[in-house]
Amino acid sequence: MTLIAADKHYCVVGLGLTGMSCVRYLAARGKSFSVIDSRINPPGLSEMQLEFPQIEVITGGFNEDFLARATTLVMSPGVALATPEIKRAVENGAQVTSDIELFLNEFSGKVIAITGSNAKSTVTRWLGVAIANGEQKALIGGNIGNAVLNFVDDDFDVAVLELSSFQLELLPKLNADVSCILNVSEDHLDRYASMAQYQQAKQRVYFGTKHAIYNRADVMTAPLVPDSVKVSSFALNEPDLGQYGVREENNQRYIVQGFSNIIDVTEIALPGEHNISNAMAVIAIADAIGNDRNATLLALREFTGLAHRCEKIANVDGVSYFNDSKATNVGSTLAAISGLGLATKNIILLLGGQGKNQDFSPLIEACERVCKMVYCFGEDAPSLNALIVRSERVESMDQAMKLAKNIAQPGDIVLLSPACASFDQFDNFEHRGNAFVQWVEANA
């Protein structure tokens, strides 16, 4: 645990939303600190200089002499610990901490930690609704966009933290009350040397946990924890006693715990098989912290999802349009097309962007099974087009949308689920998703 000590000098590494929350936190506690960012004009720079003109800041690179003055580096998750200048500072004795660790040092409520390659934002928000229905005050924060240090002085019963692998790398021991890995699939292989290294970062969510929850269908989520830690699991098959799964009775499918039915899957507000799995994770985590089961079920029936996550935009002349722009890796796209697709090849898929060194080959069989056509755009369009039989390479998402509209028939789904990062043609996944929505509203 990294403590705030009077004789320390902190260096906030990276601005943006997280960095600014760290600046305000350290300033409010009267600590000695400075700021550094490799970008020339990082987000939050003008705001920081206006609010804290006395704080020394360097931009445009990681100056090693500047870093050497710090006893503790308050790291942004966007900056890799393997960055040469950061690595040398640590080798020379600098400690490493993060906004999440500083928050947890002061938080006295229950902590739920959720990670996974896909669906962690949906499960985190869904769980937040369930807890609020149960009349507990929950902080929803972490990778989901709420910088936790902005709320460190507020009173919450539960902190529900969505944590990326980058954030987990910065935590020596999380010590959560409940920890869950939803799934692990190829992602961020432009930062990790191997899938094993990526999985190891995800597994850090279980360090020190009291209750580990994992996906039985994904061996990479299985926790390696002491026997004293309670372990629960979920999957879309029939479960063992006490575990969560799906069972069919009288031609109806139910989420169950052991032999007990919990909810008919048709009552879940979010569509797709992947959201049945997500709903099970919500139930399992909510049960683990003692949330009222009726409050959890109400959330399952009423929560309609997050923007850019398999979000149904419109149904025009029998054609449905889904925005899944947040699908920035292959696993997420596989979940979407498997959850929405029918045996009749009803999906027209918009695919492409920056692939982050992923293996695209798992898309081949899935696209062959459920896709009428795949339009590939962006930086990795040539690779995707070469792999997928029924595909066409286009220059832009706009062109893909026009072609998709031309071939769509009643019962079809036009699905933006790119399996890639967006930064080649868009500012971020939100920009890409909003462009899709605007096109649908204007042209569909």
DSSP string, 31-93: -EEEEEESSSS-TTHHHHHHH-TTS-EEESS--HHHHHT-SEEEE-TTS-TTSHHHHHHHHTT
At residue 136's C-alpha, the angle toward residues 135 and 141, to 5°, is: 130
Interatomic CA distance for residues 37 and 57, integer angstroms: 8
Kindly list the structural domains of the chain, giving each domain's residue range(s) and its CATH number in brackets, ordered by start. Answer: 9-97 (3.40.50.720), 102-302 (3.40.1190.10), 311-443 (3.90.190.20)
Structure tokens, 412 = 């079809």
Dist. CA 190–CA 276, nearest whole Å: 31
Instruction: With cut-offs at 50, 70 and 90, classify the pLDDT of residue 305.
Output: confident
Residue 343 CB partners (closer than 8 Å, separation 6+): 369, 370
Instruction: Give residue-wise pLDDT tens across range 367-379.
Output: 999 999 999 999 9
Q: Annotated catalytic sites, by residue?
A: 120, 143, 188
Q: For the segment 208-241, what is each residue's pLDDT rounded down to a tens digit?
A: 999 999 999 999 999 999 999 999 999 999 999 9
pLDDT, tens digit (0-9, with 9 covering 90-100), for 4-21: 455 689 999 999 999 999
Contact 134, 57 (CB under 8 A): no
Helix (H) or strand (E) holding 181: strand 178-181
The tens digit of pLDDT for each residue in 175-201 reads 999 999 999 988 887 888 899 999 999
CA atoms of 85 and 73, how far apart (whole Å): 12
**Cα within 13 Å of Cα(57), Cβ side:** 28
